[in-house]
Structure 1
Amino acid sequence: MSYECFPDCASYLRSRTPAPPPRRKGILANVRRYFWKGEYLCQQCLEIDFRTLLSPSAETDGLLLQAWRFNKESDLEEMRSSTCPLCRVLAVGMEGSVDSPFNRYGLIKFTGTVISPYSSPLALEGSNGFALLGIQISPFVPPELFLGLSTPPFSTCRDALASVQLIQDSQIDYEILKAWICSCQNDHGVGKSATCDHTERFPVQDLKIINCSTRQVEMAKEGCQYVALSYVWGLSVDQQSKHDINSIISDLPRTVQDAILVTLELGYHFLWVDRYCINQHCNDEKLLQINQMDRIYQGAQVTIIAMAGDDPSFGLPGVSRPRVGPFQVEIDSLKLGAIMHGIDDLVTIGNSKWNTRGWTYQEAVLSRRRLFFTEWGVMFDCPIMKCYETLTFPIKPEDDRWVRKTPSCGIRQNPLHIIRRISEYSGRQLSHSNDRLNAFKGVLEAYERLEHPVRHHWGVPILPPRVNHKLEKRKGKESSCAGFVLGLCWPHYTRGSKRLPEFPSWSWSGWDGKTNFLTHERYLAESPRRADARNVRISVELANGRLLDWDDFMCDYFCRKSSVSSPASIYLLVDAWTVPVKLHYHHRDNARIDNPLEVLVSDGTSTYRFVYSSSMEADLTLSDTEINDIECGAYTGIVLGSRVKSNFVLVVQEKQGCMQRVGSFFLENPKEVAENGVVDWDVNQFPWERRTIRLG
């Protein structure tokens, strides 16, 4: 590729001089109603000095510049139906005020220099002085709508302080998209301190690609530059998946056709689409490519992500279907643009169908660069930079400390970051439950190639035992068994999860619900809770019935020092401290509705209660008979660590000839947690027993 690169988006916009594109009719009729003239403004809006408010001034950044009191019921409804266009825009930004305890809204300026979790969205960090006014209704949540000086699409004469870029409904500025990609390639490349190419590129065996000029499926040549597509398959049965090499594919769904056009507009010639580049009727080929998903997506120059629609017939907004651009109000010589909170992608991306599907997760995570096509414009991101078609400046990605709905791209060098990846993925939906691990295999493979590799057994990460959460080496030699036991310490997050019998119950992959690995991360940070080989010993049962102790299993299956005689089964033999437990349905005691089950542990004299994390559907829909069966059941707690410290306990029950996991809880010694230091019981008094349990 050879096109001119610009140092940033703002300088690019100032440099290009295209002819304005023709406007289309039809859908624009719905968009044009958001373009208003200043002579219709009410007196209150006419008195707002937007040029002064939007001037670059650090002294006013993050401050409430102007505020008005209002009645949530009458005044908000009056603003919605006002003849003043700006009042109607302000009303959009105040929609969340109904549930807010505040009866005041105002304008607060953001340039990204203020990083406050209460008043300044992290998405604007790095805006280089361009200002936006947020319509704020609460000091504790980010604004829902932002105002800024705007510039028309494809414009060369614009205000130097413009921060909002208007867009065409059915025409995309591909030059700016190419500038984003080129900026990342040049500024975030190999050898830089902050790089988007920090991982080595590995060749992909038997990689097929679509030649976008001929629409033929071809074998990729060495060094071939290609674009990947991530989209929702939908429910339709595809008849176009049996293509031989050099065959021409036809009758493509609209999304794939649009992706071909975008690939050519970006200056590339080849596109990888899983449905057409993998023979869906050849299991050997599918398995080979599934095992290389990390290499495929990391090898793509950029991934096109089709955010809109529920199936491939929807198309890409801005290519074959229109999209909605920013609102605009013209006030004297100022053109004021209004954009929704979608700039932090919670609305447009976080709530999309694409963001709920299992297979699309690893496609998003493994990509080096991503282009999101939404109905509100195109967004680009990489690990270093975010760019929006509706903003005139690039911004920094959100800090990883904050919970996000969409997964960040790129594999981090911190091996413990995999527990976040599992937590994000585990709540996603799959059409076929037996794909639970296949759809995540690319991420698992990528973490195996880190400097501190993270292997896995049935999806359970084998965390490096000599590396803690800050990547500091720990003293002494430890078996990797400790790292595997840590991987078993995950609590259920979603009750009512369906059990997946094709996977072991002790693995998160054995349940279709979300697991709360963020709690697990805090657990790992506390060294007294860490497991070690002295407390828990693991053996692995092979499919032929042979038992391997953990270190021999690791040697056979991962170090490749001896031949593998048989694949591993779903069974483990766990040698650990155990304690008998009971479950109690305490909702009948008018206790908390959201967590009606609790664990009971007895020392022979008294019974003590613990918070239970379970997949069971324990709510008001249970009959008395079902509740009685739960409370009369026999359960065993397996302590994954020392029994005299605060520890994670697996709750297991005998099912189908083995013990199966049904929940977990934290067993805490009150002598270590009581505030007054006076307690009347001790975990040492519980009926402990050292047992070897066959866990499946």
Structure 2
Amino acid sequence: MDSPEEDFSFDSESETSELFPEWLNRASADLAECAGLCIDCAEINLEPRFVRAYDLYEGARRGENHRELKVYRSFDDGPPYLADFYYVASLGDRLSRESTCNLCSFLKKTIPAPEHGTYKILAFCSTESYLFDAPQNDTRSSRPWGLWDHNVFMAVVPEVPGIPKTGVPLRWFETDLPKCGPIYRLTEREDLHRAAIPNLVGREADWHKLNDWFRYCKQVHRHCAPRKPHGASLPGFRVINCNKKPPVIESRPWAEAYVALSYVWGLESGGDWPQTVQDAVELTAKMGETYLWVDRLCIDQSNAQEKQFLISKMDAIYEGAEFTIIAAAGDSRTGIVGVGRTPRAAQPVVDLRKQSRMPRDFGYYDGAGDYEDYDDEALRLFGVNEREMAERNRDGEWLDLHRHGLRSRERPDLTQMLHELRLRQKYNVSEAHFRVFQRIARDQNQPIDNFMDYIEDFSQIQGIPMQEFALHLLRDVEESIGVPPGTITTAEDIPVLPVTPSGKPRAGLPKAFALEDNYITLLSTMEDARITIRNSEWATRGWTYQEGILSKRRLIFTEKQAYWECCGMAAQESLVLPLSLLHDPETGQMFDWCLSGIFDGDTHRVPELQYGFKPASTQKVYEQIVKLNGHIKAFTSRRLRYASDSVNAFLGVAARYSVPGGLALFQGLPVWSGLLSNDTPALAITFALSLSTWAHEGNPQPDRAGLTTAASPRRDAFPSWTWTGWEGTATFAGSSAYAKDEDHPREAFAWSHGLHVDVFEAIADKGQVWSGLWCADLVVHGDYAGEAAAVPLTTWAGVQHMATDQSRRWILRIMNPRVLRHEYLTTEDMEGEEKMQLHTSVPMTMADLERGHREGNLLTVLLFVGMSPRLFDGGLRFLLLRRVPESGRWERIGRLAVAVEEGAMNKLMTAGDVISGLPVYELGGYIDVI
């Protein structure tokens, strides 16, 4: 039948509606009534939109359309955003209203706050989700997208003024999408190389999937095997035999295979084992294992000596388990969700009837019940018309950032920068020409080192000097794509090469699966399990921290789904990932661009998500100290039932970072137990640095720049000079407010981590000259009658017994202390966040500081000076001390950090130069800090 409108074309949906308003409204109402949808949702017709979105992203991967994932900002200085994604529909504010619509009800469940704001639906390529990081530099492995078939998911996105229909806020992928969960079509399980396939989560855990994770890890991950030295034993080790009916506790050699359990104890009554333990017994058997270790049952609680011994061996127990079951929902009475009787939270799912007609905004009505496409490429590709595409104010790539935006707390990759500099010097090429080589190497998935070697050989064969060969390559590129000579002059002008070969067959969307014909099933993969775990009660308890950290393999059960994380991969039950394709054959672990887990140093925080798995044994010193600092911060943010657990519950983590001649912990503070490059002990200098760097996170005082105060209760059983003697979150960073300043990422990083991390990193550099470091003369002694002498911090062997000994209350003695003149503490000359940061563990105003110093109840004592040319900037560290009444001793209540800029550092090459210019005086004698 010929269309009566064949000579017409329409530029907008409104024009179509004006011609056929009665028919459209009647058809929409009929469709809505039979499908259980509101009229607006009945017009969306999601199935063809999945297809169109797939075509957009597949075309971009094949180079058939020009679409680059970049960061943009509108001309009127609007919010930064990412574009161009496939636009599906506007939801307006209807998710905030009561509705019986099946689709509206489903969409409400996929966002945290549907009652606030207005929303839209966009469709995304699965390889562009937060699960995969964008390229960072040439040292990271390339993405094998050309070998894969991608998928399409949809998501509800907030409508933000200044962001076009096809855009999302800059950090939406990191901050919002993991909380919401992508929306996929339920599809057939197919043996294809798909980046992601959704999984329908049942009431009971998918035992086949869980066992697949376990088997795959055992077969592929060499770093995940239980750590048990040959012939090692563990006296007093007991386990539950899960194969006996009923299960019994029995002594077994530690060398045998066993599973460990981590859970929140809760209020347990005597008698039967708590439900969580009973479920863990059943789970252990279903995973093909026999023995289960549970701390409360397998440690003799009445034997204090054996109990303390096994507590100190927590690192061995959890690292030695085949895997650890983590019950991250409820407590011991709850049971393990998905294993026993405790029901899971329902996964959002909706069945939608397929619609035979095309959506209204796909084209114009042809009079025969169908819509024809507009002759409009922008409409076809992005789901919007030309006018809407033109309204998007593209102001170029914003700040030259990759798609995840600012990386405000990431360490500058100096190693990579130096490596590139050496390559340029080796081949004697300019930076501009080097970028050409680098760009072409990246397009060809070649390491830059190998590519430069190849180019050098080829240049000699061609008789073209290396200094001119980049121009030769640019001419070749111009000729290959048919543009006039001189069009391409820089690396940025080189067109993006397709990631999918043109000869690769198009797979299309995976085949939909539904329980009934003519229906499609949409499901949400739900909140990312990592976030659910972080928000659980389990993640607030101090003891569970090291249980999760120390385990090599973890099988976690949340109220929504199961999650696996080991040393080589992370996977959740609601999403099927192609594990074999995601693994680097060289490392045997997931590629470094795959989203990693949450137990590796507890550094996975938005807005900078953590990618890649790296075994601790291969980490550099600065990586180890950053991770250790992260462990301390995360552990101290949790709750402990007993003050004595301030040390006990961290002994396992401490043991992991205690290496003879290397990094170690002394009463909870990171130290270097070996030597400096000049063969002098590093213990004193690193102890003084850590002692005077840690601080409690608190609230910056608005009326005084540089002052941050906390209200942390004391734990009198431990020294005040270490974080174990206090409640509250302890950090080795600078001001928490300044460190989160995303407008000054480099400065924030340098202030947060620079001095503490760089000193430890420089220690490992045997070429370092240590002329610019100084620390106060510190000794430690036990507070008991008959102490013969204080122990100087000269060698690790002399103080190693003090590292974790809780039998005495260790006192810090500062010999011949250098005290800051108090009038300089509050002077305007030393103020400012960039130069001075004062953190107190107790509430305090500047008036309190002034009065306390004037009356002699407060002292600010110089502990550390760092002026090594190896560091970016120098720094001074002071302890803020408060007099303890009637004892003649002091307690640490804070620290003062002063930054010394690079210009001043270059003039003051020795610590003596710095100290001589400071407003300090020698008090004489010594002071004791309890």
Above 0.5 in TM-score?
yes
AA at the equivalent of 1:501: D
C-alpha distance in structure 2 between counterparts of 1:540 and 1:682, whole Å = 24
Match of 1:497 in 2: 712
C-alpha distance in structure 2 between counterparts of 1:682 and 1:573, whole Å = 20
What is the 5 A alignment of 1:71-150? 74-78=93-97, 81=99, 83=101, 85-95=102-112, 106-111=122-127, 115=133, 129-135=149-155, 136-137=157-158, 138-142=169-173, 143=177, 144-150=180-186
Match of 1:463 in 2: 672
Between 1:276-285 and 1:566-575, the stretch displaced more is 566-575
Between 1:155-164 and 1:429-438, the stretch displaced more is 155-164
Structure 1 residue runs of 5 or longer lacking an equivalent are: 1-35, 119-124, 190-194, 241-250, 468-473, 584-598, 675-680
AA at the equivalent of 2:797: C
SS in 1 for 2:695: coil
What is the 5 A alignment of 1:209-224? 209-214=239-244, 215-221=247-253, 223-224=255-256
1:547 aligns with 2:789: yes
1:66 aligns with 2:265: no
Structure having the higher Rg: 2
1:178 aligns with 2:214: no
AA at the equivalent of 1:213: N
Aligned counterpart for 1:226 among listed residues 254, 258, 265: 258
1:353 aligns with 2:540: no
Match of 2:745 in 1: none
C-alpha distance in structure 2 between counterparts of 1:37 and 1:453, whole Å = 71
Contact residue 582 and residue 635 of structure 1 kept, 8 A: no
Between 1:221-230 and 1:49-58, the stretch displaced more is 49-58
Aligned counterpart for 1:167 among listed residues 195, 201, 204: 201
AA at the equivalent of 1:481: A
SS in 2 for 1:521: helix
1:642 aligns with 2:658: no
Match of 1:689 in 2: 922
AA at the equivalent of 1:49: R
Between 1:142-151 and 1:221-230, the stretch displaced more is 142-151
Match of 1:12 in 2: none
Contact residue 580 and residue 635 of structure 1 kept, 8 A: no
TM-superposed CA distance for 1:633, in Å, is: 6.3
Match of 2:596 in 1: 397
TM-superposed CA distance for 1:567, in Å, is: 6.7
Contact residue 694 and residue 733 of structure 2 kept, 8 A: no
C-alpha distance in structure 2 between counterparts of 1:553 and 1:360, whole Å = 33
TM-superposed CA distance for 1:349, in Å, is: 0.6
TM-superposed CA distance for 1:635, in Å, is: 1.9
Match of 1:5 in 2: none
C-alpha RMSD of the superposition: 4.3
1:313 aligns with 2:522: no
C-alpha distance in structure 2 between counterparts of 1:285 and 1:552, whole Å = 33
Between 1:214-223 and 1:196-205, the stretch displaced more is 196-205
TM-superposed CA distance for 1:665, in Å, is: 1.9
Change (3 A) 1:582 1:357: farther
SS in 2 for 1:49: helix
Deviations 1:536-573 (A, max 9, x none): 2221213442334435663244399xxx9997641021
Between 1:515-524 and 1:265-274, the stretch displaced more is 515-524
TM-superposed CA distance for 1:688, in Å, is: 2.9
C-alpha distance in structure 2 between counterparts of 1:96 and 1:117, whole Å = 32
C-alpha distance in structure 1 between counterparts of 2:897 and 2:809, whole Å = 28
What is the 5 A alignment of 1:455-604? 455-464=664-673, 474=677, 477-488=680-691, 489-494=693-698, 495-519=710-734, 521-527=753-759, 534-542=774-782, 543=784, 544-551=786-793, 554-558=796-800, 569-575=809-815, 578-580=818-820, 600-601=825-826
Change (3 A) 1:637 1:253: same
AA at the equivalent of 2:596: P
Contact residue 111 and residue 129 of structure 1 kept, 8 A: no
C-alpha distance in structure 2 between counterparts of 1:209 and 1:314, whole Å = 22
Between 1:542-551 and 1:427-436, the stretch displaced more is 542-551
AA at the equivalent of 1:497: S
TM-superposed CA distance for 1:693, in Å, is: 2.6
Match of 2:404 in 1: none
Match of 1:296 in 2: 317
C-alpha distance in structure 1 between counterparts of 2:792 and 2:669, whole Å = 14
AA at the equivalent of 1:379: Y
1:443 aligns with 2:653: yes
Count matched residues: 595
Deviations 1:635-655 (A, max 9, x none): 222222238852122111111
1:256 aligns with 2:277: yes
C-alpha distance in structure 1 between counterparts of 2:524 and 2:327, whole Å = 21
Deviations 1:118-146 (A, max 9, x none): 9xxxxxx9996553525233232222230
C-alpha distance in structure 2 between counterparts of 1:184 and 1:197, whole Å = 9
1:196 aligns with 2:196: no
Match of 1:53 in 2: 53
SS in 1 for 2:787: coil
Deviations 1:601-642 (A, max 9, x none): 469xx88674421121359xx9x9999779966322222223
AA at the equivalent of 2:575: L
Provide the identity percentage: 24
Match of 2:571 in 1: 387
Match of 1:14 in 2: none
Structure 2 residue runs of 5 or longer lacking an equivalent are: 1-32, 62-66, 70-82, 137-142, 159-168, 355-511, 514-519, 580-593, 699-709, 735-751, 764-769, 868-873, 906-913
AA at the equivalent of 1:329: V
AA at the equivalent of 1:372: I
Deviations 1:102-124 (A, max 9, x none): 87553332325862599xxxxxx
SS in 1 for 2:235: coil
SS in 2 for 1:352: coil
SS in 2 for 1:275: helix
C-alpha distance in structure 1 between counterparts of 2:694 and 2:901, whole Å = 22
Match of 1:328 in 2: 349
SS in 1 for 2:779: strand
Change (3 A) 1:452 1:420: farther
Match of 1:24 in 2: none
AA at the equivalent of 2:889: C
Change (3 A) 1:682 1:261: closer
Structure (1 or 2) with the greater helix fraction: 2
Match of 1:339 in 2: 524
Match of 2:766 in 1: none
C-alpha distance in structure 2 between counterparts of 1:162 and 1:652, whole Å = 56
C-alpha distance in structure 2 between counterparts of 1:108 and 1:179, whole Å = 28
Change (3 A) 1:261 1:209: same
Aligned counterpart for 2:267 among listed residues 221, 232, 235: 235
AA at the equivalent of 2:170: P
Aligned counterpart for 1:426 among listed residues 636, 650, 653: 636
Change (3 A) 1:328 1:173: same
1:617 aligns with 2:838: no
Match of 1:43 in 2: 43
Change (3 A) 1:207 1:685: closer
C-alpha distance in structure 2 between counterparts of 1:220 and 1:271, whole Å = 11
Change (3 A) 1:453 1:526: closer
Deviations 1:638-687 (A, max 9, x none): 2222388521221111114312101112124579589xxxxxx9992513
Deviations 1:182-218 (A, max 9, x none): 11111112xxxxx224955453222110111221111
C-alpha distance in structure 2 between counterparts of 1:150 and 1:103, whole Å = 23
1:660 aligns with 2:912: no
Change (3 A) 1:433 1:549: closer
Contact residue 44 and residue 89 of structure 2 kept, 8 A: no
C-alpha distance in structure 1 between counterparts of 2:916 and 2:111, whole Å = 53
AA at the equivalent of 1:684: G
